[in-house]
A = this chain, B = another copy of it.
Amino acid sequence: MSARNPKRRSEAASPKRPVVNRASAGKGGVREARSAERRDAILAAALEEFAANGFAGTRLDDIAQRAKIAKGTIYLYFADKETLFQELLRAMFAPIVRALEHIPKSDMPTRDILERMIGLFVQEVLGTRRKDVIRLIIAEGPRFPKLAEFHYREVLSRVMAAMSALMARAIARGEVKNQAYAKFPQLLAAPGLVAVIWSGLFERFAPLDVAAMMRAHLDIVFGERKTP
């Protein structure tokens, strides 16, 4: 339930209700296509607005306006503001998780794998609204227990496990000396979090060369010492 909007009328509303597509249950119907388009437009607009204003600070009116639909239309696709919010965050991470789980299967040197992951991170997270989504989760997590739980279960735990495995293998191979990285994969990911936060809040005052920092980080992890 929302932090501040105690779900006034509906009380025990329909659990999800993507209502859409009732008659046109065929596969490639025009209706269906248009419907999916709308849904995406709403999600895209919602992303912008939530990222900029937070959950409580975003007005459905603004989302509708940005998506060029009527306010009421949102309710045809999402049960309420909170559902929209959570579906949005959910949708944002699905592709990233898939991508991350696919990379490490190869047999290339761990450092190369990590460099690829960092590239992905810089491009797909720092370079997009996703970095704001991470901030949103940090910001609103405590008020949306389900949200935090979902992200732990679906994203974090998997990413952490993957990293842990990756580092264990690297340690076993002798690529990495310090065993701590297998036990605390957070240490591997920490600079990424710093990058996300910094870019969202302090970029303006002191730009951070994220690529360089990440490279330096890898140097530390792999025990090399570059002389810049």
Contact = CB atoms under 8 A, between A and B. Distances in A.
A163 B181 CA distance: 23
A177 B225 contact: yes
A208 to B, nearest CB: 7
A138 B138 contact: yes
Interface of A: 1, 3-6, 8, 52-54, 56-57, 59, 80-82, 135, 137-144, 148-149, 152-153, 156-157, 177-180, 183-184, 186-187, 189-191, 193-194, 197-198, 200-202, 204-206, 208, 212-213, 216-217, 219-220, 225, 227-228
A4 B202 contact: no
Given A3-B57, A138-B139, A152 B205 contact: yes
Contact of A54 (B52, B143, B208): B143
Contacts of A191: 186-187, 190
Contacts of A4: 53, 56-57, 59
Given A3-B81, A54-B54, A148-B202, A180 B139 contact: no
The A interface, classified by DSSP as helix, strand, loop or mixed, is helix
A197 B193 contact: yes
Contacts of A201: 137-138, 141-142, 148, 152
B187 A143 contact: no
A39 to B, nearest CB: 21
Nearest to A221: B220
B206 A53 contact: no
B225 A6 contact: no
Contact of A202 (B156, B194, B200, B206): B156
B157 A206 contact: yes
A82 B143 contact: no
A137 B135 CA distance: 11
